[in-house]
Amino acid sequence: MKNSLLIALRELRARVWSRSFLAMSFIGPLAVLVFTYLIFAFGDEGEQKWNVLIADPTNYMQGKIMPGKDNSITYSFASNSIDHEVFREGSQYKDFDALIEINEKVLENKVSHVFFREAPSTRLRTKVQYQVERRMEEVFADEKFGISVQRYRKIKKPLLMSFVDVYDPYGESNSDNAWVGFFMGGIIILFIGLFGMTILRSVAREKSNRIVEVMMGTCSPRQLMTGKILGVGMSAMLQFLIWTVIIGFGLYWMRETLFVDILDPRNANFDAMAEQMQNQSYAAKQFSSVEYNRFVDLVYNKINFGLMLSYFIGFFIGGYLFYAAFFASLGASMGTESDGQQFVLPLVFILLIALYAGYYTMNYPGSSLVAWLQYLPFTSPVVAMVKLAQGYGEDGYQIYISMTLLYASAVAMLFIAARIYKNGILQFGHRLRLVHLLKWLRKT
Amino acid sequence: MNETLLEVRNIRKSFFRKEALNNVSLNVKKGEVFGLLGPNGAGKTTLIRVINRIIEPDEGSVRFDGHLMEANDLKRIGYLPEERGLFKDMTVENHAMFLGKLRGLETKDIRNKMQFWFDTFNMNDWRKKRIEQLSKGMAQKVQFMCAVLHEPDLLILDEPFSGFDPVNVELIKKQLIQMRADGKTIILSTHNMKNVEEICDRAALIHEAKKIAEGTISELQGEQKTGLYAVRFRGNMLTFVNALWTGFEIYDKTEHGDNRFTVRVTMRNESSFEDLLKVLIGHVTIESAWEVMPTMQDVFINLVQPVSHEE
């Protein structure tokens, strides 16, 4: 173990002082921050226009609504009840972006469903909620209770609007949070790909310049391989740490300066608010409080960074060890430095499949395929991160099974890889074929 | 001096049905320089790797200092492979430090020993340079230094002189002779038979995966001697020929000028070296006479050629 650690530390030093590592450590997170800023700043720049159909069979709203000054939302009324499936499939409704159902239950429960085809921005959601609620207040105050709207507002129970994807009414797929899981899974795959290739090239180079034989005079092939994987892994973790710190500081700085949380009382400017109250309508003030798009909301309010990061590290280490074993054994088996490309491609292909599995999970989280993919060590680092972001709900134990299987597979792979590494590392000049790998695998 | 340090017993090793070592056994005694000889592809490097535990034999065993060799014994062995590499991005100092630590040395120890070799090889100005900045000869000195830094009891050198200029070859030879004087054991694998004659005490010759000879250098030469004797004299060549009479036959002659010759002769009948000297005394002035021993080059060629299939 001491030898493995010495090799790992040498590897770490060699990596850390390389230009590519330094560039990747700083340019990478800065690129992520710039990209995040662009999404924050311009994510909703193209204002959505919504054509909303209100199904009002009891004619509570009497075909009236109170639209704001902007014309981003157009309302139409239907006097019949419309099921969301009919709305989704019916050609007569294809021009409408959303369906709101107003009926007795809405009046009783104060909960209204908004079925949308394409997810609205927070600004649009707020406007719809505000405008429908204003009209409902009038209906309630005048026609139900016979009191003034002002008095009713004081005693009312607010209307809760539930936004539902008409193509996914049970909320199984593709939430914003899932994208965060997919992003983190993508980072895992990116790091595994980058650092896996580093292992492969490094092992092949040391093999071709024969330093490996000098080292094997003192340490076993297993120690050599473990040291290499550990060293490169430590540099990957260090890089990830630098990414986390830079991105963390960047997000914090943006929150403090560019995208201030104006709902937080500490940041409230009461003088400015009072002035706004005088100059602006109530609606405008409402909207200004959520003037940032849903990405800001997602990043600052919805993600449980502590939880996500701890699982991220767990799956990152497991996934890295699992794949690193493949890369190390492949590097050790190559006859020349340029050999073995035909085996690198399938590995990269598997990594891309893992990435696609994450995307698939976002769209079909409840499918039986996903249930398998989350346990398969090739795909679990991404799939489990997406599932985690979506929320495991009552089936929380699955993530532990997933992680246990990943680590067990990683250990098994390291044993298999060590055997190929040991038998292949001193074979030179051949053209690598599958039969070589199989022979070296069988050989004790 | 005669105690065995390394005992290789009945080693067999095959790679994909190709036999690399076939029942090879040999003994290396403490404090000797042992030559491991053989043509390319004979199995020398495989044997060295087996001794170093880099590869495991299919059969046979290696005993070191009286016991079956263990991983821990590797710290008492220094190894300089034929095709040796270095980490090109490391400095000379860091490289030596890294390999020294792998051999179990402490930092302070490594520094002291490193200083000795920097002084010996006149490399003090190069210690902070990266390996990629060194000349080939300088890099080879670093490789040699790294192999001997931990003062191993057994030093295994595979073609240690290749790539060195004559001055550095002499420098390395001098160090090897000093190590032997210090009681270290050295296994030297080389194709340079002149070096074998100069510094090896004993040698083994491996050919086509088998050991075909083992012994001291003079024993190996003795086994291959052809019965030739040489006489260097001053006088008349015709007188010399007449003096030989029927008991001897001239093999060849070399004229040095000023009536000086060296003639090689073979014995006929039961004639001996003394008989040769007796018949010549009084006829020519003998300056020197000796039994012609084959060089190690001759021994190598004689042993390898009859069974060689290489054309």
Q: Which CATH number fits domain B228-292: 1.20.120, 3.30.70, 3.30.2010, 3.40.50?
A: 3.30.70
List the single residue in B54, B75, B86 with the smallest CB-CB distance to A211. B86
Q: Which CATH number fits domain A50-165: 3.40.109, 3.40.50, 3.40.190, 1.10.3470?
A: 3.40.190
Q: Which residues contact B31 (CB under 8 A, 6 or more apart)?
A: B1, B180, B183, B184, B185
Inform me whether the pLDDT recorded for A13 exceeds 70: yes
Q: Give the sheet arrangement for strand A50-55, strand by strand.
A: A73-78, A50-55, A98-101, A111-116, A160-165
Nearest CA in chain A to B157: A214
Of all residues in chain B, what percent carry a pLDDT higher than 90?
41
- Is the Cβ–Cβ distance between B225 and B196 less than 8 Å? no
**Predicted pLDDT of residue B311:** 41
- Among chain A residues, the shortest Cα distance to B102 is held by A3
The predicted complex's ipTM stands at 0.75
pLDDT band at A8 (very low <50, low <70, confident <90, very high): very high
Residue A293 has pLDDT above 70, yes or no: no
Superfamily of domain B4-223: P-loop containing nucleotide triphosphate hydrolases (3.40.50.300)
pLDDT(B187) > 90: yes
Where do we find the tokens 């309302």?
A: A75
Q: Do B87 and A212 touch (CB under 8 A)?
A: no
Domain ranges of chain B: 4-223, 228-292
- The one-letter amino acid code at A379 reads T
A215 touches chain B (CB under 8 A): yes
Q: Which of A48-62, A103-117, A317-331, A427-441 has the highest mean pLDDT?
A: A317-331
Residue A50 has φ and ψ, to the nearest 5°, of -120, 135
Q: What is the DSSP string of B113-180?
A: HHHHHHHHTT-GGGTTSBGGGS-HHHHHHHHHHHHHTT--SEEEEESTTTT--HHHHHHHHHHHHHHH
Burial A122-156 (b: 16+ CB within 10 A, else e): bbbbbbbbbbbbbbbbbbbbeeeeeeeeeebeeeb
With a CB cutoff of 8 Å and minimum separation 6, the contacts of A20 are: none
Which pLDDT belongs to residue B157?
A: 92
C-alpha distances in angstroms, A331 versus A18, A184, A337, A432, B150?
A: 20, 27, 8, 10, 30
Residue A104 corresponds to which tokens in the numbers above?
Answer: 């007795």
Higher-confidence residue: A277 or A431? A431
A214 touches chain B (CB under 8 A): yes
Domain ranges of chain A: 2-39+174-442, 50-165
pLDDT at B2: 56
Mean pLDDT throughout A33-49? Answer: 70
The Cα–Cα gap between B126 and A201 comes to 28
- The yes-or-no verdict on residue A393 having pLDDT over 60 is no
Mean per-residue pLDDT, B228-257 = 90
Q: Does A151 touch chain B (CB under 8 A)?
A: no
Q: Does B121 touch chain A (CB under 8 A)?
A: no
Task: State the nearest Cα–Cα gap between B272 and chain A, in angstroms.
Answer: 52
Q: Which of A54-58, A204-208, B80-84, B246-250 has the lowest mean pLDDT?
A: B80-84
pLDDT at B210 > cutoff 70: yes
> What does the mean pLDDT of chain B come to?
88
> Which of A10, A210, A426 lies closest to B98 in CB terms?
A10
* 8 Å CB contact between B205 and B37: yes
Q: By the CB < 8 Å criterion, does B16 face chain A?
A: yes
Query: A interface mutation test: which of B45, B76, B102, B105 has the most A CBs within 10 A?
Result: B102
Chain B nearest CA to A228, separation (Å): 14
* Contact yes or no for A216 and B98 at CB 8 A: no
Cβ contact A70:A64 at 8 Å: no
pLDDT in tens, A95-145: 888 888 887 777 777 778 888 887 776 667 777 777 887 787 777 777 667
What pLDDT shows up at residue A395? 59
Query: Does B185 contact chain A (CB < 8 Å)?
Result: no
Structural tokens at position A358? 């994450």
Q: Quick: pLDDT tens for A277-290.
A: 455 444 444 444 44
Least confident segment among A34-38, A142-146, A301-305, B174-178: A301-305
The Cβ of residue A237 has, within 10 Å, a number of other Cβ atoms equal to 17
Whether residue A180 lies within 8 A of chain B, CB to CB, comes out as no
